[in-house]
Amino acid sequence: MKVFICAFGGFYVAIPMSSVASLTDLKDRQVATQAAVVTRDTDTYVSLPLVFSLPQENIRHGIVLKNAEGSDDGNKIVLLSTEVVNTSEIPEENIHPIPRALSGTRFASVFSGIQCDSEATRDAGLVIFLDPERLVRYAQQEAAE
């Protein structure tokens, strides 16, 4: 699976390239939000640092997800993330299920797998694989509340 790798301190998040429509550099823009999920006009912004209860001052990239079912209704889901540090090809057999011990955590539901000591990262750390479809459902639920 080809993925974008984003660093979050002691771990990394892998975002499947097949789910990404575009990548935007946000270095010079103020993009902080008060909540993990914010809807502005027709677009929904998901702050990945806030999903993990981390500070969001290091947001560097906006990752626009492809619309479901190929629709082009103008609505976008934009992941606000730390810097995309690299891209990598990670074999499916190296991705393990999220441990049951984490299943009760708020963020575990938006991830599809985990890998420890990955060569895809700079310092061979923990990689958590984002499931974009689950994230979209999570964002829609949060926006509706």
Compute the distance between CA of residue 118 and CA of residue 83 in angstroms, rounded to an integer: 18
- Residue with more model confidence, 118 or 50: 50
| 30 and 44 Cβ atoms separated by less than 8 Å | no
pLDDT at 104 over 80: no
Mean pLDDT score, 99-119? 73
Please provide residue 58's backbone torsions phi and psi, each rounded to the nearest 5 degrees. Answer: -100, 20
* Edge-to-edge order in the sheet of strand 43-47: 20-25, 61-65, 77-81, 43-47, 37-40
Compute the distance between CA of residue 136 and CA of residue 118 in angstroms, rounded to an integer: 26
Number of domains the chain contains: 1
Tens of pLDDT, residue by residue over 8-28, are 878 889 999 999 999 988 876
Tens of pLDDT, residue by residue over 20-78, are 999 988 876 666 677 888 888 888 888 888 888 887 777 889 999 987 655 555 678 88
Question: Whole domain around residue 23: which residue ranges?
Answer: 2-144
